[in-house]
Structure 1
């Protein structure tokens, strides 16, 4: 059976204990490793390694001893409970003993978990797992995390998020690889220590590269430098930055400006802003004023709704137009 998307996410989170085997493959080794860890943890639970209910083999070991995988599947452990045989880094040249073990599987045997690289549709290993009645094959591709994956990652860290913090987390999920994303959530959980996470907390814990890639184009819009926006958007688009990410971070910046305008200056912001960014924000607050900033936030809200709708308009073009309109508002 071939699993994709939400179906695969649900399988990793709550695998059927009657599953004979699972093949997890993809070009991104980190994605594969994270999903393999999640699956094995949910199959055998904590303490499986100490209780010798988890057997690890490499693809090379499987090839050098053709019966090793089958023997491991059928061996009976000293401790009771579900068992897993994990074969890591299998290539197409090492597939034969793994396929033989899969064919020999019977109820009561351990669950076979196999990982590998980017197998083609013609792969014998992939075909064997897809065709088996009690096995699954999951291909992991270099694409943003889905909503269910994000929800599962948040739940794993027991995070409580404000609405704006949730949007910030979703933006990070579009930009970061899964390993960095999970590390960021872990840092957030330690930082929050059980309290609700605010949008500023997400900004504080986010890797510096996310803000660094967007700061220039946001500053260009806030400073009224419309001519700089086009080239910056081309560069960001080429780097794979999503339009939704840009609208989230731009909205956050203008919300800070509005809060400062209402409070009478950047000094009233919480958390406070220091350094060169403080000077730039003070200048922007004076130039915009509270009323124009409210108009800017309304424009950004409309842009956000358009980006999240079923509109077929090119998203980066929609965001670029919004930023240019902001820059023109700043100069008016």
Structure 2
């Protein structure tokens, strides 16, 4: 079976509910190491809850199987001395394991589950092709989390603690959690621990994770880099923008997510500039923003609101919506679209700063 990335979570959940004895080999591959490890552990524990049980759980490497391909077939057919189905985990696995996996698929007896955790195997990989084509195999793709998958992970991890994120907190978490599933889960578990496990009789307010809770705990450096990039763009600082975007890409932030961050900032500035133009004091206008900005950014927000007229910010929202659509539909490199769009904002900010004060 060939399990696509979008189907992998449902496939694994279905196996956990009812392990299929016909499945002999599960190959988990992709570019998200954290998700690969999580999926592999979940499948293995569906067969053997205690992976430290020396009678029912075995760990091998691809290098060991290259030297002794028959070893995997022997482990597949071996019976536990204390009863129960066995699991064999192979980490890391690659094309060197093909002959060993073939012995398992050809075996006439045996009921162990073989879980292979690999890297980003190309479609030409012999191991990937072998397992995907086998009726007793499942090649499960795991790629970096998108927005929908992250929302599901947030709901799952916080829900297990009796908590849920409000809208502002959820948006912040989606934008600032990394793309690695394992790291994202770890950060969310820290957030749940910080908030405290909600008791069944806890009042509703005690169950809500707020924006302030999320900001206090989630310390992904990607968030810092993205925030720096956004403020550099609207401040008209191309050099600072370029350096911050380098950090953003190095941390694995999706360009479409960064563009949505620029959109939210433009919308926030539009509301702020409109309030100031209507006569509200700048510091009062900033204090009324929801979600509230970090104290270290308040002066910059006031400065940007004085630089950007509300009519120009309205045009900017349209520009950013167009950029997001280009990321989804044109096939052009997302990073190039983000850099070009952010640079246009920075150039616009410099032009406005040099222009005579607006009336």
Of the three residues 52, 66, 90, the one matched with 1:87 is 90
> What secondary structure is seen at the aligned counterpart in 1 of 2:90?
strand
Equivalent residue number for residue 185 of structure 2: 182
Deviations 1:224-250 (A, max 9, x none): x27668756875786565443334434
Contact 2:62–2:96 (8 Å) recurs in 1:
no
Equivalent residue number for residue 303 of structure 1: 320
Contact 1:213–1:236 (8 Å) recurs in 2:
yes
Of the three residues 22, 25, 31, the one matched with 1:21 is 25
Deviations 1:230-279 (A, max 9, x none): 7568757865654433344345556766579777165667768445x444
Equivalent residue number for residue 33 of structure 1: 37
Q: Which runs of 5 or more residues in structure 2 are unaligned?
A: 199-206
1:109: Cα distance to partner?
0.5
Equivalent residue number for residue 220 of structure 1: 232
Equivalent residue number for residue 202 of structure 2: none
Deviations 1:10-65 (A, max 9, x none): 22332252322111234665443233123323x22633544843222233444555
1:185: Cα distance to partner?
1.9
Deviations 1:136-166 (A, max 9, x none): 123445xx31356324422431352223333
Is residue 197 from structure 1 mapped to residue 197 from structure 2 by the alignment? no
Is residue 69 from structure 1 mapped to residue 72 from structure 2 by the alignment? yes
For 2:93 and 2:66, locate their aligned partners in 1 and report how far apart those are by CA, in whole Å.
9
Q: TM-score, normalised by structure 1?
A: 0.73
Do the aligned partners of residues 167 and 327 (structure 1) sit closer, same or farther apart at CA in structure 2, a change above 3 Å counting? farther
Equivalent residue number for residue 245 of structure 1: 257
Q: TM-score, normalised by structure 2?
A: 0.69
For 1:39 and 1:255, locate their aligned partners in 2 and report how far apart those are by CA, in whole Å.
44
What pairs with 1:111-190 in structure 2 (closer than 5 Å)? 111-140=113-142, 144-147=144-147, 149-159=149-159, 160-172=164-176, 175-190=178-193
* C-alpha RMSD of matched pairs (Å): 4.1
Aligned residue pairs: how many?
322
Equivalent residue number for residue 211 of structure 1: 223
Equivalent residue number for residue 280 of structure 1: 300
Q: Which runs of 5 or more residues in structure 1 are unaligned?
A: none
1:133: Cα distance to partner?
0.8
